[in-house]
Amino acid sequence: MAPTTESRVLHAPMKVEFDYTRSLGSVLSQFMSALKQHSVLGGVLADGRVVVPPPEFDPVTHLAITELVPVSDHGTVQSWSWVPEPVSQQPLDKPFAFAQVLLDGSDAPMLHAVDVDAPADISTGMRVRVRWAEETIGSIRDIACFEPAGDSETSGSASMDFGPPEVTGMISPVNLAYDYAASPEETKFFRGLSEGKLFGQRCPVCEKVYIPPRGACPVDGVPTAEEIELPDRGTLTTYCVVNVPFKGQTIPIPYVSAYVLLDGADIAFLHLILDIDAADVRMGMRVEAVWKPREEWTTSLDNIRYFRPTGEPDAEYDTYKHHL
């Protein structure tokens, strides 16, 4: 994370990445299994039309599609659009065309990429054929793309026995990159942290002190405004001990995740409690921030490594019970 400080608000890159595991069900399993064997199947609709990729349910009768038939891996471009600037994970990483290709033996075109160098090299009515991926795994990407077929003959699997489908699932990697931006109010808070300061803000209507400050007071709907510097100590209102591992977790378990109500604030925030055995942590315990070494400070709440007990007597329940 390399936040820039030039703009009005703080920005940082944020990634949302997961390899989704999809189960396919009967129709798609057969379709994907056939692709793995370099064959394309279409679904037969109740009206007799053959559609590729096969829909799972008939658009008119709504019944499950049960009959799949092989179609050719040659076809005709029905419409297309040029892709001058491919985005990540598209079939080709150089300019290409997305096209609707009507495979011989089918009645509805399928969407896929066509590998040509320029818009002038593709046209509606052009004959194209499947270029199979080097390794086929049972995925729509087993068709690497289509390519101009010239005069090559239609091939395809007029009658193949595919047996029980061997592909029943697929992995879908979804990798998205975002520019995350903080609100102006949060930006003040995070920039304060880079100087070792904790800035809250007061709501101009209800006069409650929020930390972090808010783009809208959740009670009054107006931004918090007047800046209040708060001390780095307060009362632990309530907590839990996290003892469950999960993907993306960055803190070793078990750890205490607690609401810390800084002195002078009207709302608690979540942070980590250390320097004490989890079994000894108590509601009402007085805590103080343990900061990272100054040279490691950034515009992040993790400048405070954790909170630890101050050793003061616990706060009386009545002093914080309305914060639960």
Which span (151-159, 211-219, 226-234, 308-316) binds another protein, by CB under 8 A? Answer: 211-219
Of the listed pieces 27-35, 67-75, 155-163, 286-294, which binds another protein according to CB under 8 A?
27-35
Residues 273, 291: Cα–Cα separation, whole Å: 13
Q: Which helix (H) or strand (E) holds 261?
A: strand 255-262
Q: How far is the CB of 295 from another protein (least distance, A)?
A: 19
Cα separation, 129 vs 74, whole angstroms:
4
- Stretch of residues binding another protein (CB under 8 A), selected from 66-74, 147-155, 217-225, 286-294: 217-225
Q: Which among 96-104, 148-156, 225-233, 288-296 is the span making contact with another protein, rule CB under 8 A? A: 96-104
**Shortest Å distance, C-beta 197 to another protein:** 15
Of the candidates 110, 149, 109, 101, the one whose C-alpha atom is nearest the C-alpha of residue 129 is 149
Residue closer to another protein by CB (options 8, 294) is 8
Residue 158 touches another protein, criterion: CB under 8 A: no
* CA nearest to 31, candidates 68, 73, 75: 68
Q: Is 319 in the site for another protein (CB under 8 A)?
A: no
Subset of 130-149 contacting another protein (CB under 8 A) = 139-141
Given candidates 78, 104, 147, 149, which one binds another protein under the rule CB under 8 A? 78
Task: Locate 26 and state its tokens.
Answer: 């009967």
Which two structure tokens, joined as six digits, stand for 274? 């250390």
Residue 288, number of CB atoms within 10 A of its CB: 18
Binding test (CB under 8 A) with another protein, winner from 5, 155, 160, 184: 184
DSSP string, 15-73: EEEEEEEEE-HHHHHHHHHHHHTT-EEEEEPTTS-EESSPPSB-TTT-PBP--EEEEBS
Which parts of 239-278 interact with another protein (CB under 8 A)? 239-244, 246-251, 255, 257-259, 266-267, 270-272, 278
